[in-house]
Amino acid sequence: MSLIRPFTGLRPAPRRAGDVIAPPYDVLNSEEARIRAKDKPWSFLHVSKPEIDLPVGTDPYSAAVYAKGKENFAKILKEGVLGRDPEPCYYVYRLVMGAHQQTGIVAAASIHAYDANRIRKHEFTRPDKEDDRVRQIEALNAQTGPVFLTYRQSSAVDTIIDKLTLGTADVDIAADDGVQHTLWAMRDPHQIDAITGLFDSMDRLYIADGHHRSAAASRVAASRRVKNPQFTGNESFNYFLAVIFPDNQMQILDYNRVVKDLNGLSRESFLKRIETAFTLMPESSMVKPGRTGEFGLYMKGQWYRLNIKPDRIPADDPVRRLDVSLLQDNLITPVLGIDDPRRDKRIDFVGGIRGLKELERRVDSGEMACAFSLYPTSMADLMSVADAGEVMPPKSTWFEPKLADGLVSHVLD
């Protein structure tokens, strides 16, 4: 089985992409999705967040929600708002956000490669989140949320992509948030074969975002193999929808922390305790760290610059060397008493796209006692952790720009 393969994508009919594409299902809550989809009957949020079409307060994991999603999906298909390409294609997908641009391949990625760790992971998944995606895939008989993958940059892949993008795009549209989404269908069989071969020669891909979606696709495939014991491996359920970008074009933003209280410490005692592992300097303006090992701390009315002491940085541990780990292991756990940031309700996480003003707002409002700004995790760090077979701490990476839901979907024939 090939690492990736072309597929007959389900996508918006000509000039309908603006009616359809929507943010990923997991970046909006139900109320935000309801507002975004108002007066937009073909928005893909009606498929990915179908609770918006049910009474307010409906449990988003109830059977009625998946049934509504199936109904909405069928309606969009019946009305011809979405249609399938007649022949298998790859798709070249470009995202432009401000000065940042990244261009990758939309493909069906091998679940066998995922199960064999040729497509590498760096996060734990939660069973309830996996269950949600399994139920969504089964209800629609399609994968509609792409998994965000990355590969080590290849000049040969770049050459093929660059040539294709000189032609007219099939879709070129700005989303509500200003991000430009451009898509070209790759129909030339020579280009398709070349891309397949180039990726087959790669020893691994990496999941950037979408661990629950890929895990769910693997579970669906395993279930369908049991029901179809004569499977060949080439069935569509043995592949999952992916968008694959070169590592040198990926953009990871900071993923910051806010904490509700100082664990019973006075402000003075808290600052004193920090100096065990960090140097601390008051600053007159917001602190956006400029390198690894540097952090910002905000307490009402005052920013501080923190630098981890060199002897606190482990030499050969790809996980404990991460800035998110250094902050957790040397401050959040020992000083603030938060041992499990995945479950502790005293801590929350703020994506860097919201800016440092959001940290000030959360603290100045009285909701939080302190906030920490971090330097972004690097792609090299992500790959090192995945190659070591380890997992990152929760909320280590925030990728921007986000992929659009509804632009291309993968039907399970």
103: CB partners within 8 A, 6+ apart: 92, 93, 94, 95, 161, 165, 245, 249
Contact (Cβ atoms closer than 8 angstroms) between residue 402 and residue 232: no
Sign of the alpha-carbon torsion through 155, 157, 161, 163: positive
pLDDT level of residue 2 (50, 70, 90 thresholds):
very high
| Cα–Cα distance measured from residue 92 to residue 84, given in angstroms and rounded to the nearest whole number | 16
pLDDT mean across residues, the chain = 96
Q: What is the pTM of this model?
A: 0.92
Rg, Å, the chain Cα set:
22
Decide: helix, strand or coil at residue 37: coil
Shared-domain flag, residues 292 and 232: no
Shared-domain flag, residues 154 and 123: yes
For residue 201, count other CB atoms closer than 10 A to its CB.
10
Structure-token pair, residue 192: 């398709």
pLDDT digits (tens, 9 = 90+) for 29-73: 999 999 999 999 999 999 999 999 999 999 999 999 999 999 999
* Number of domains into which the chain is organized: 2
Residue 107's pLDDT is: 98
Shared-domain flag, residues 177 and 312: no
Residue 116's pLDDT is: 97
> How do strand 119-120 and strand 205-209 relate by DSSP bridges?
parallel
Q: Which domain holds residue 192?
A: 4-245
For residue 276, pLDDT over 90 is answered with yes
Out of 241-245, 280-284, 285-289, 339-343, least confident range:
339-343
| Helical H segments across 289-329, by residue range | 323-327
For residue 207, pLDDT over 90 is answered with yes
Residue 50's pLDDT is: 97
Shared-domain flag, residues 50 and 184: yes
Decide: helix, strand or coil at residue 275: coil
Does 347 fall in a domain? yes
Which of 214, 245, 276 delimits the end of a domain? Answer: 245
pLDDT digits (tens, 9 = 90+) for 238-261: 999 999 999 999 999 999 999 999
Q: Which residue type does 123 have?
A: E
For residue 316, pLDDT over 90 is answered with no
Shared-domain flag, residues 189 and 296: no
Which of 219, 245, 271 delimits the end of a domain? Answer: 245
Residue 149's pLDDT is: 98
| Helical H segments across 29-167, by residue range | 30-36, 45-48, 63-78, 111-115, 127-140, 155-164
Residue 342's pLDDT is: 84
> Residue 228's Cα: distance from chain center in Å?
32
For residue 168, pLDDT over 90 is answered with yes
Shared-domain flag, residues 308 and 217: no
Structure-token pair, residue 301: 């009315």
Contact (Cβ atoms closer than 8 angstroms) between residue 256 and residue 374: yes
For residue 21, pLDDT over 90 is answered with yes
